[in-house]
Structure 1
Amino acid sequence: MKVSIRRRALITNGALTVLLLGGAGLAYAQLGTGQAAGETTVRTVTASRGSVTAAVSASGAVESSQARALSFGTSGTVEKIYVKAGDKVAKGDLLARLDDAAVQESLSAAKATYDSAVADGTDTAALYASYIKARNAYREAQRAVAATVLKAPFKGTITAVNGSVGGSSGGGSSGGQSTSQSSGESSGESSSGFIELADTTKLQLVGTFTESDVGRLKQGQEATVTFDALPGVTATGEVTQIEPVAATSDNVVQYPVTVTFTKVPSQVRLGQTATVEVVVGQAENVVTVPSTAISTSGGQTSVTLLKNGTQTRTAVEVGVRGTATTEIKSGVSEGDQIVPPATSTGTTTGGGGGQRQFGGGGFPGGGGMPGGGR
């Protein structure tokens, strides 16, 4: 009987021990779960040393910096066209002519009258007046004949022929040619002439820059040009003109800027879409942080530093602002851990690994059971 009672007592004590140990384990597990739930993951980036480049860019189409729309100086019927689109011509080459039979007759008559006036002399006022009248008529007849031909004013490539033999010259403009400027404007009545000529060795691009970007540009700055249809092909250029008057579209204020090519790859053609990029600032071997980690409010620029698990808002002085990184002149040292704004959560850049910050109740050294959880 005594043995049975003792055995029952041992069994009961053992069961109680198991229950106590199980309860303790459960409590400890719940404590660990609560601490894990209290953890807050903070994404950081690391301030590092490197280079920063700031650039502004715009798009546009390749055009010639020397282009003209040529028109006859008089109206008439086209008798001969000597060129076609794509032809290369030299300065002074004959491009087209009108039927000049009538003006040649007028020239012959004017010359005869002029020769007669010269022979009569200018001894009296009447003779002198006759001489001046005949001379002026002869000069006018010469100009009329000259207006029936088109000649190349410079070496270039024919880009368009807007007429045909037997057709009309399309009207005349004084001087026999209409000059098309880089902006597409023309000194004649129309921006297109009977024949269009361009120097394909002198190219440019006119891009529109925002009012904030144009303030960082100045004439003489170097530019890099890339082409949508020519991957890997790059041209170099120079800012040659910044328009003083803005062109506003959809309430966006932009300024046309002309970039003249200084090196033109052979593959580049007129009209191709291109992007021009101008470097407006550069800093070497400086402390940098991702541009997205910087905030500006109330005129003050700052970052959030993480030191000993504590986040501190710190004012900084910035230098060159690049698209990806920004130079920090003061307020941040190389190696500092910076917490980007909430909009950057989920992205870790700049070489900084994600760090953890624990709330109250966590165990020293990063949480978990002392001794590695054993």
Structure 2
Amino acid sequence: MKVSIRRRALLTNGVLTVLLLGGAGLVYAQLGTDQAAGETAVRTVTAGRGSVTASVSASGAVESSRSRALSFGTSGTVEKVYVEAGDKVAKGDILARLDDAAAQEGLSAAKAAYDSAVSDGTGTAQLYAAYVKARNAYREAQRTVAATVLKAPFKGTITAVNGSVGGTSTGTGTGNTQNGQGTAASTGFIELADTTKLQLVGTFTESDAGRLTKGRQATITFDALPGVTATGKVTQIDPVAATSENVVRYPVTITFTKVPDQVRLGQTATVEVVTGRAENVVTVPSTAISTSGGQTTVTVLRDGRQVRTPVEVGVQGATLTEVTSGVSEGDEIVPPSTPVTGQGTGGGQRFGGGFPGGGRR
């Protein structure tokens, strides 16, 4: 009797073990099937209708479109400086002056010689030559005295004072930068800028520069001024490129048309120029479009099959691209494949208007 009970217990335990192992195997197999199905799921997006904007951008520093590096027109010792950086001045204001004692003495001597020549008359060739020489010397002495005084050539803001009282001026002349076309020295005794006329010079890649034309409107944002936006327009596209690290770029001047009060010279800014816009058009995500061998295509899901379909595109934005033929609104588009667990065919995401497209046409 004891042997029979022991056998019955062993049989029962064996049956339970088999059932447990079988159940575990079934669960594992089911999990494996679900995982495989998730790995092979097709993610789609739906071609929508909306607007597409294409743009190009570059960065640069804010500068004045009208600035000058001012220096005395003669050499001498600095006697007085009337301004400092940040001061606002009007046209004709005296900014600094040199000790003009020697210049005044030269002027007095030249004036006396000129008066004598006038008294002697010009009746002979010799007297006329003496008169001309004295007159020219007198005029030169007048210019030398005037050159000891540095005046503002236009209304603006002093951006730098590079000398001090007691220092020596070498009379290097005036550096000038106006409307982006500058010559002469980059620094002077005093530097003056018109802060109401600002610009930004950005360097655009070769392909982006080819999409720009003079007069195109631009939007300017500032790294240090979140939420502050300025407007401008393209006023100059340099014909000569600057190549750096084998990348060809063209300097492009953007002139501000509206300058916010918070903007200062030297601030880092980003300029975005709209190069194309399309409204109420069929759109697909830009990442879903491929170009190879001169042919542009997208992958369309038709009756459960992925069909590579040639398309023609219009405005190409960074987010969305306009499709002019090959795809219709509502078509299911298969973007570059990435396994998505738990999402099956047909659970598409629809792309329409409301997405900004900063890209290219």
**Fold match, TM over 0.5?**
yes
Range moving further from structure 2, 88-97 or 113-122: 113-122
Shift of 1:122: 1.2
Residue type at the aligned position of 1:149:
V
Which of residues 235, 238, 241 in structure 2 aligns to 1:240? 235
Question: Hey, what does 2:96 align to over in structure 1?
Answer: 96
Which of residues 240, 260, 263 in structure 2 aligns to 1:265? 260
Question: Hey, what does 1:211 align to over in structure 2?
Answer: 206
TM alignment of 1:296-335, pairs within 5 A: 296-335=291-330
Contact 1:288 / 1:326 at 8 angstroms: preserved in 2?
A: yes
Counterpart-to-counterpart distance in 1, 2:128 and 2:32: 118
Counterpart-to-counterpart distance in 1, 2:54 and 2:239: 23
Contact 1:57 / 1:278 at 8 angstroms: preserved in 2?
A: yes
Counterpart-to-counterpart distance in 2, 1:334 and 1:227: 38
TM alignment of 1:193-232, pairs within 5 A: 193-232=188-227
Deviating above 6 A after TM superposition, structure 1's stretches of 4 or more consecutive aligned residues are: 25-35
Say whether 1:166 aligns with 2:166.
Answer: yes
Contact 2:44 / 2:345 at 8 angstroms: preserved in 1?
A: no
Cα RMSD over matched residues?
Answer: 2.5
Deviations 1:92-138 (A, max 9, x none): 11100000100111111111111111122111111110111111111
Range moving further from structure 2, 325-334 or 135-144: 135-144
Shift of 1:184: 8.9
TM alignment of 1:1-374, pairs within 5 A: 36=34, 39=37, 40-169=40-169, 171-174=170-173, 177-181=174-178, 186-187=183-184, 190-342=185-337, 345=338, 354-356=343-345
Change over 3 Å in CA distance of 1:270–1:184 after alignment to 2: farther
Residue type at the aligned position of 2:176:
T
The unaligned stretches of length 5 or more in structure 2 are 1-22, 347-361
**Normalising to structure 1: TM-score of the pair?**
0.81
Residue type at the aligned position of 1:179:
N
Secondary structure of the residue that 1:292 maps to in structure 2? helix
Secondary structure of the residue that 2:236 maps to in structure 1? strand
Counterpart-to-counterpart distance in 2, 1:30 and 1:151: 90
Q: Greater CA radius of gyration, 1 or 2? A: 1
The unaligned stretches of length 5 or more in structure 1 are 1-24, 358-374
Counterpart-to-counterpart distance in 2, 1:113 and 1:35: 113
Counterpart-to-counterpart distance in 2, 1:109 and 1:134: 10
Counterpart-to-counterpart distance in 1, 2:340 and 2:105: 84
Change over 3 Å in CA distance of 1:29–1:309 after alignment to 2: farther
Counterpart-to-counterpart distance in 1, 2:68 and 2:28: 85
Shift of 1:173: 2.7
Shift of 1:178: 2.1
Deviations 1:288-335 (A, max 9, x none): 000000000001100000011001000000000001000000000000
Shift of 1:147: 1.2
Counterpart-to-counterpart distance in 2, 1:207 and 1:103: 46
Shift of 1:186: 3.8
Count residues with an aligned counterpart. 324
